[in-house]
């Protein structure tokens, strides 16, 4: 897909633009902008935001369902959008809505059904793990949101570059080098950079954006000098462990990521081999109930 | 009276702030009477906010305890140690003159930097230090304040260093206040990045024939109840590295606006400012490409603006990033030209296709004939190098006439339009294009 001659590159871009016009990142849901607008006020109007959310019946239902789900980590059950808002606060509500809207925001989402299913399972397992390991700064709702957003760059790149599937396959089976190193051999960018730009555009918190950016970078996760916040490291570790459990339990497609990042993830979360072993059965039950 | 221990800070075992101040008074009085000399070291842990954020307060306390231990081990037994604030320490070092005190502190800097494990993560703590040596007749508060000010100067220069009081520029209380303001701005920027407080405004660059050459994106930060001005927050963002995230945010935002203008039938290049820190990072090219892909916009509709300060240090990474942007077909403009570090050799080698003359030359037109001569010469130079030459900061009809006389290609400034929000810019461009038909 890449053309290194300036003239040729430009022509190719023009062709691309004519043929696949609607291929760009999904716009941020308008309700997130309204919430942000309210957050900038001295006295945010919760009632107004509640009405805005409730005006979209399916969004309201999804919000209540998500907040009450076991992987979101809230003990108290909420029955209305208003209760959800009070429990979560505006910023966490905005994140929950981002998580709910992400998949719908991609046109032609059905093409990537298996991808989104796997993301949803990883997100649910991540939220559950976050509650089990109890690390300071690691929130279950963030782990859930992060699990959904972590790989959304893949969908964007798949829609733009038809050959990307083959690259993904090679990256998934690369045992030594970083996943993203394989991507940049054939693409001008990689899915973690693309995903972090989208997350930032949707006003997700810094810890989540950085965790998306560095989720294949072992040095960034392991070394303090990378400056990566601990919460981001925990998010990466929780989702890697969640993905590993999913692959163990379902026997589905295996990747090499656990080989590369597993020991760091276990160390960060404080899970030794036997503790991890115990999680397989419990995770299987959760996956079954979530399917 | 017995020491009940209530004067001691429980984490470090040092004297707390209140007890510390009276100890400092006694030390000064003793130095005055014996004439032995006294040096005061003020020490502050670098990136402590980040440490607390990363490891929580328990982790933060462990770093405090460890730094305290290293202080105790490195300094001689007659030094009195105080904990002044959450991450601030003072050492009163009797019988020390400037030279010895400096040597001791350099040893201390090295000792503190040895690695420390928290939560299985290895970190190298670093500190900023300021020393002041007691001058005859000086009161204890002034002595402490000089050490504090030297420490703040060390912090201002990036931390991990020692400044001796008297060596720092005379900043006084104002300088101290500035450093504290910067910390507040940094916190505001973090908040802005996750609560939708950032926006881009756009200002057109108008060619002499009336065509729109480009629109420049300018960052705005509106916090609850107040607007943070770019002149204030950009320097802080540059110092703290936050500029990289802000810059990536603008790349995508600006590229999306370029796509929108194209879709609305008024395709116009969008110029986006990039900082030296961004261009000096290996992640710049992937981020630029990701923004182009995400916005689905042709590279030719994007222009990067950077200032001459880039010339100071054209590292291999910077050159590589500029090369690959150029190769992709992204336009490049040198901003604020002629004001700072202009170097003609670099101008010759940079892959820029636009030269924006600094507003300081324009604002004195048409009265200043020498400025006019410089503008005219720079316009000719730019043109000979195949660049589009733009005059920045044109505010009046007289200035417009002058830059037309100097034969620049395009003009930017209040005379044509002020920066405006996205919707207004779109409407303005649409109106221009109907008039042109």
B249 closest CB neighbour out of A21, A200, A205? A200
pLDDT at A76: 83
pLDDT at B176: 55
Residue with the two structure tokens 């990466």: A236
Say yes or no for a CB contact (<8 Å) between A24 and B259: yes
Contacts of A31 in chain B (CB under 8 A): none
pLDDT at A113: 86
pLDDT at A15: 42
Closest A-chain CA to B51: A229
- Output the pTM of the full model: 0.76
User: What's the pLDDT tens digit per position in B377-419?
Assistant: 999 999 999 999 999 999 999 999 999 999 999 999 999 999 9
Find the distance separating the first CA and the last CA of chain B, reported in whole Å: 93
User: What's the pLDDT tens digit per position in B349-360?
Assistant: 788 999 999 999
Return d(Cα B137, Cα B31) in angstroms, integer. Answer: 10
- The reply to whether B114 touches chain A by the CB within 8 Å rule is no
Mean pLDDT of B209-219: 95
B294 closest CB neighbour out of A9, A40, A197? A197
- Looking only at the bridges linking them, the beta strands covering B212-223 and B354-357 are unpaired
Residue A87: Cβ within 10 Å count: 15
pLDDT at B103: 80
The answer to whether A204 and A149 are in contact (CB under 8 A) is yes
The answer to whether B145 and B24 are in contact (CB under 8 A) is no
Question: What would the two tokens of residue A233 be?
Answer: 């490291």
Task: Tell me how far the alpha carbon of residue B147 is from its chain's centroid.
Answer: 24
CA distance A30 to chain B (A): 12
Return d(Cα B117, Cα B64) in angstroms, integer. Answer: 13
**CA angle, residues B302, B248, A154, in degrees to nearest 5:** 95
pLDDT at B363: 94
pLDDT band at B119; cut points 50, 70, 90: low
CA distance A128 to chain B (A): 21
Question: What would the two tokens of residue A277 be?
Answer: 């072993």
Task: Tell me how far the alpha carbon of residue A194 is from its chain's centroid.
Answer: 12
Return d(Cα B224, Cα B216) in angstroms, integer. Answer: 26
B299 closest CB neighbour out of A13, A20, A204? A13
Mean pLDDT of B143-170: 81
Stretch (H or E) spanning A160: helix A152-160
Residue A52: Cβ within 10 Å count: 18
- The reply to whether B291 touches chain A by the CB within 8 Å rule is yes
Say yes or no for a CB contact (<8 Å) between A10 and B299: yes
Residue with the two structure tokens 């999804």: A62
ipTM score assigned to the predicted complex? 0.85
Most confidently predicted of A144-158, B36-50, B63-77, B333-347: A144-158
Return d(Cα A273, Cα A279) in angstroms, integer. Answer: 10
Question: What would the two tokens of residue A177 be?
Answer: 């080098």
- Give the gyration radius of chain B's Cα atoms: 27
pLDDT at B178: 60
- Give the 3-state secondary structure of B110-179: HHHCCCEEECCEEECCCEEEEEEECCCCCCHHHHHHHHHHHHHHHHHCCCCEEEECCCCCCCHHHHHHHH
């Amino acid at each position: 897909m890449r053309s290194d001659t300036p003239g040729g590159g430009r022509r190719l871009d023009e062709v691309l633009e004519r043929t696949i016009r609607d291929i760009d990142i999904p716009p941020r849901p308008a309700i997130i902008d309204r919430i942000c607008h309210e957050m900038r006020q001295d006295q945010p109007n919760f009632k107004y935001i509640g009405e805005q959310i409730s005006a979209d019946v399916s969004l309201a239902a999804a919000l209540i369902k998500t907040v009450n789900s076991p992987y979101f980590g809230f003990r108290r059950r909420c029955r209305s959008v208003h209760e959800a808002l009070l429990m979560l606060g505006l910023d966490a509500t905005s994140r929950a809505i981002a998580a709910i809207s992400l998949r719908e925001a991609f046109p032609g989402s059905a093409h990537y059904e298996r991808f989104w299913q796997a993301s949803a399972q990883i997100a649910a397992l991540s939220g559950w793990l976050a509650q089990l390991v109890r690390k300071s700064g690691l929130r279950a709702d963030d782990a859930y949101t992060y699990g959904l957003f972590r790989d959304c760059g893949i969908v964007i790149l798949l829609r733009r570059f038809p050959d990307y599937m083959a690259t993904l396959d090679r990256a998934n089976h690369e045992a030594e080098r970083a996943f993203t190193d394989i991507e940049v051999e054939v693409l001008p960018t990689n899915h973690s950079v693309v995903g972090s730009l989208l997350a930032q555009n949707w006003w997700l918190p810094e810890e989540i954006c950085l965790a998306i950016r560095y989720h294949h970078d072992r040095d960034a996760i392991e070394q303090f000098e990378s400056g990566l916040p601990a919460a981001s490291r925990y998010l990466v570790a929780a989702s890697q462990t969640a993905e590993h459990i999913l692959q163990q339990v379902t026997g589905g497609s295996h990747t090499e990521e656990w080989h590369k990042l597993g020991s760091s993830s276990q160390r960060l979360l404080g899970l030794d081999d036997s503790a991890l072993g115990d999680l397989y059965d419990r995770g299987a039950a959760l996956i079954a109930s979530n399917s | 009276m017995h020491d009940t221990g209530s004067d001691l800070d429980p984490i470090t075992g040092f004297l707390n702030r209140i007890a510390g101040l009276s100890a400092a008074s006694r030390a000064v009085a003793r130095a005055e009477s014996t004439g032995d000399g006294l040096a005061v070291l003020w020490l502050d842990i670098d990136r402590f906010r980040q440490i607390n954020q990363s490891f929580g307060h328990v982790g933060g306390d462990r770093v405090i305890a460890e730094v305290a231990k290293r202080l105790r081990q490195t300094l001689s037994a007659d030094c009195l140690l105080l904990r002044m604030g959450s991450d601030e320490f003072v050492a009163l070092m009797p019988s020390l003159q400037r030279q010895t005190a400096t040597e001791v502190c350099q040893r201390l800097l090295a000792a503190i930097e040895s690695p420390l494990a928290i939560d299985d993560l290895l970190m190298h703590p670093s500190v900023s230090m300021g020393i002041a040596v007691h001058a005859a007749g000086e009161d204890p508060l002034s002595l402490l304040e000089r050490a504090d000010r030297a420490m703040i100067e060390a912090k201002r220069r990036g931390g991990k260093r020692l400044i001796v009081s008297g060596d720092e520029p005379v900043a006084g209380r104002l300088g101290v206040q500035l450093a504290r303001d910067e910390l507040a701005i940094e916190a505001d920027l973090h908040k802005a990045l996750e609560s939708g407080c950032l926006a881009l405004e756009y200002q057109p660059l108008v060619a002499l024939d009336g065509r729109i050459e480009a629109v420049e994106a300018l960052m705005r930060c509106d916090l609850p109840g107040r607007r943070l001005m770019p002149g204030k927050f950009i320097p802080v963002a540059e110092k703290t590295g936050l500029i990289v995230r802000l810059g990536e945010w603008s790349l995508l935002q600006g590229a999306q606006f370029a796509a929108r203008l194209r879709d609305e039938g008024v395709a116009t290049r969008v110029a986006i400012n990039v900082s030296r820190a961004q261009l000096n990072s290996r992640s710049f090219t992937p981020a630029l490409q990701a923004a182009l892909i995400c916005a689905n916009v042709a590279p030719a509709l994007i222009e990067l603006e950077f200032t001459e300060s880039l010339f100071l240090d054209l590292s291999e990474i910077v050159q590589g990033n500029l090369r690959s942007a150029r190769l992709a077909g992204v336009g490049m403009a040198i901003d604020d030209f002629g004001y700072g570090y202009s170097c003609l050799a670099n101008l010759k080698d940079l892959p820029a296709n636009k030269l924006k003359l600094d507003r300081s030359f324009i604002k004195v037109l048409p009265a200043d004939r020498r400025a006019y001569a410089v503008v005219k010469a720079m316009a000719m130079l730019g043109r000979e190098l195949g660049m589009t030459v733009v005059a920045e900061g044109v505010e009046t009809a007289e200035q417009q006439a002058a830059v037309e006389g100097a034969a620049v290609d395009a003009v930017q400034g209040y005379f044509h339009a002020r920066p405006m929000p996205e919707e207004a810019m779109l409407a303005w461009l649409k109106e221009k294009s109907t008039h042109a038909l």
